[in-house]
Structure 1
Amino acid sequence: MQFSHSDAMWQAFPELRAGALHAGGIDADADVEAAIASFNAIAEARLAKAQEGEFPEIQAWRRGFSRMGLKPTQYRCASEALLRRFRQEHALPRLHPLIDLCNAISLAFAIPIAVFDIEKIAGDLEVRRAKGDETYLTFAGEIEHPEANEVIFADDEHRAHARRWTNRQSGLSAVRETTRSVLIVAEALHASAGDDIARLVEAVADALARHWPATPKTAMLTPVSPRFEF
């Protein structure tokens, strides 16, 4: 199985840096509260100094969304949406230990993190422009069709596992209590993205190894090394 970005995506966003992890042995019983509190404290400290819209990580994604023809205050990258809610409520709802942990890490780094149940992905997964005939399953169980040229995470059966790039994941491959094997993807566009993604991947891998019987396989993706096989 392979995760990658299309050549066209790298050409359009040469500043993109991405990290990917694969891990098995996941369950819904892990106690991650201490780790979540630690990462939340980092986010709280940053938000005490400035709102999320002033963070360079978020500003870079806003510029990226504008380049995709999207209004960045209408469609926000996942990390901005999480930070915005966290700033207002000082907490995020609990969904699944792995999702809760990755959300906390996303808050701390202000970088969007996607987590996919790989058993729900057909073949390879690629970030690319949509053709318009792909299907997307919402969390409400409805079928949508991404617009042509919209950036999606697409598998070999033309199913979109995320819409508007880092804006919204699909309900199809969302992590559930039955999830055992996952692909985790983090992407950034800001000036220090390479270093920050490397630190984020290390943090996620360490957290996975501490809370689950997992030995994560990791990769850093760049225009020179654009694919992750696992």
Structure 2
Amino acid sequence: MYFIHTPVVWQEHPSLVAGMLHVGDITPDADVRASVAAFEAIANKRLANTPEGELPEVQAWRRAFSRMGLKPTQYRCASESLLRRFRKEGSLPAIHPLIDLCNAVSLAFAIPIGVLDTSRIIGGITVCHAKGDEVYDAFSGETEHPDPGETIFVDESNRAHARRWTHRQSAYSAVRKETRDVMIVAEAMHDTAAEDLSRLVDALCRVLKVTKTALLSPAAPRFEFEP
């Protein structure tokens, strides 16, 4: 299985860096509460000094969304949406230990993180511009088709696993009780993206049973692993 960005995506977003992890032996009953609390404390400290919209990690994604023709305050990257909810409500709902952990890490680093069940992916994931005929399963239960030219995650079966890049993941490959093997992707474009993604990957490696990691760049654009 693989994860890649097309050359066009790298050309349009030359500051992009992606942190990749392959994680197996996922269980729905792992206790991650201490780790979640530690990462949420980091997020609280950051938000006490700076609103989420002014964080450099979020501002970089807002600029990227603008370049893609999207209104940044209408379509927010996933980390900004999580930070807004966390700031307003003081916590995030528990969903699944792996998702709770990755959401907390995303809050701490202000970097969007996608977690995809590899059993629901055919071949691999390519980040590219949509043709418009791809199939996307929304969490509402509706089936959608991305807009032509929209940046998406798509597999070899023409199924879109994310729309508007880091805005929203598909329900189809979302982590569920039966999930045992996942691909995790974190993407950033701010000035210290490479250093911060390296720290983010290390942070997840300290908690999860990670089988392979990588930092993707134009010089090393492909992540491959055996699910």
- Asked if these proteins are the same fold (TM beyond 0.5), I'd say yes
**Aligned partner letter, 1:178:** E
Distance 1:186 1:216 in 2: 16
Q: What are the equivalent positions in structure 2 for 1:22-171 lying under 5 Å apart?
A: 22-171=22-171
SS of the counterpart of 1:153? strand
Distance 1:139 1:56 in 2: 29
Contact 2:57–2:190 at 8 Å: present in 1 too?
yes
Distance 2:21 2:119 in 1: 15
Structure 1 segments unaligned to the other structure (5+ residues): 209-213
Normalised to the residue count of structure 2, the TM-score between the two structures is: 0.98
Contact 2:21–2:210 at 8 Å: present in 1 too?
no
2:216 match: 221
Structure 2 segments unaligned to the other structure (5+ residues): none
Distance 2:93 2:70 in 1: 27
Per-residue CA deviation, residues 179-217 of structure 1 (Å, 9 max, x unaligned), is: 000000000010000100111011111111xxxxx2431
Identity within the alignment, %: 62
Distance 2:165 2:92 in 1: 22
**Aligned partner letter, 1:69:** G
RMSD value, Cα:
0.6
Distance 1:142 1:205 in 2: 35
Normalised to the residue count of structure 1, the TM-score between the two structures is: 0.97
Per-residue CA deviation, residues 162-188 of structure 1 (Å, 9 max, x unaligned), is: 000000000000000000000000000
Distance 1:150 1:114 in 2: 18
Distance 1:147 1:112 in 2: 22
2:175 match: 175
Distance 1:68 1:216 in 2: 34
Distance 1:58 1:32 in 2: 26
**Aligned partner letter, 2:18:** A
1:2 match: 2
Q: What are the equivalent positions in structure 2 for 1:187-226 lying under 5 Å apart?
A: 187-208=187-208, 214-226=209-221
1:215–1:72 distance in 2 versus 1, CA, 3 Å:
closer
> How many residues are matched?
225
Per-residue CA deviation, residues 62-118 of structure 1 (Å, 9 max, x unaligned), is: 000000000000000000000000000110011000000000000000000000000
C-alpha displacement of 1:228: 0.2
Per-residue CA deviation, residues 129-163 of structure 1 (Å, 9 max, x unaligned), is: 00011010011221000000000000001100000
Contact 1:205–1:216 at 8 Å: present in 2 too?
no
Distance 2:23 2:79 in 1: 22
Distance 2:30 2:19 in 1: 24
Distance 2:13 2:136 in 1: 24
Per-residue CA deviation, residues 21-53 of structure 1 (Å, 9 max, x unaligned), is: 001100101010000000000000000001101
Distance 1:60 1:54 in 2: 10
SS of the counterpart of 1:207? coil
Distance 1:17 1:46 in 2: 22
Distance 1:205 1:133 in 2: 37
